[in-house]
Amino acid sequence: EAGVTQFPSHSVIEKGQTVTLRCDPISGHDNLYWYRRVMGKEIKFLLHFVKESKQDESGMPNNRFLAERTGGTYSTLKVQPAELEDSGVYFCASSQLEGNYAFAEAFFGQGTRLTVV
Amino acid sequence: ILNVEQSPQSLHVQEGDSTNFTCSFPSSNFYALHWYRWETAKSPEALFVMTLNGDEKKKGRISATLNTKEGYSYLYIKGSQPEDSATYLCAASTGGFKTIFGAGTRLFVKA
């Protein structure tokens, strides 16, 4: 069974450009989460999808970030325009929808390392 | 706001030593506590999820306990091996939607 996959693995862009990150969750996982780890700091929650619906996007830092999950399968996270402070590793995780989401084991992708120069 | 704190920040031990780390979290509105193992250049791997006060989980030489009343969890590693070197993350879930991660404890095991 394929795990959570993220594309690209690395991205280097200039300030002001646009970047789109993609996450393919494990097949059948309705929960999909995006997290970000800025250098030297803890992993921070960005948002949570259940199928195609955003359940909680309170962690999104500002309106330069847009996440979508059309059809409830893969998800994209677009940063437009990118700023220097957006550099970090963006992780996606997925889990099954089983009662209370808090209890479900989340499986993480390898992450996308974004560098804004 | 839920803050999850882990201590120590890093730990250096010799092969064969047993060690433990702490994760503390606000005990109100608590749903579940997760422990993850994260090796450099890989994605975090789930170790345990615990929900009830007094829960104890074990996987090989690694075990964890949970105290929801006082808001802490301990992770124990018995007889540390070099391959145990990794960052150990704990994360607390509230209300089912948001999982808040601590900064992690970085473990270095020297052969």
pLDDT (average), residues B17-42: 88
Q: Which two tokens stand for residue B104?
A: 């992690």
Determine contact: B13 vs chain A, CB below 8 A. no
Confidence band of B76 (pLDDT split at 50, 70, 90): very high
Cβ-nearest to A103 among B51, B94, B103: B51
pLDDT (average), residues B57-76: 95
| Interface contact A56-B98, CB threshold 8 A | yes
pLDDT surpasses 70 at B34: yes
B50 in Cβ contact with B64 (< 8 Å):
yes
pLDDT surpasses 70 at A100: no
Phi, psi angles (nearest 5°) of residue A101 = -60, -25
pLDDT of residue B95: 63
B78 in Cβ contact with B61 (< 8 Å):
yes
A92 in Cβ contact with A75 (< 8 Å):
yes
Determine contact: B39 vs chain A, CB below 8 A. no
Question: Is the pLDDT higher at A68 or at B27?
Answer: A68
Residue-averaged pLDDT of chain A:
89
Instruction: Give per-residue pLDDT as tens, B79-103.
Output: 999 999 999 999 888 765 567 888 8
Question: Is the pLDDT higher at B58 or at A39?
Answer: B58
| Interface contact A42-B45, CB threshold 8 A | no
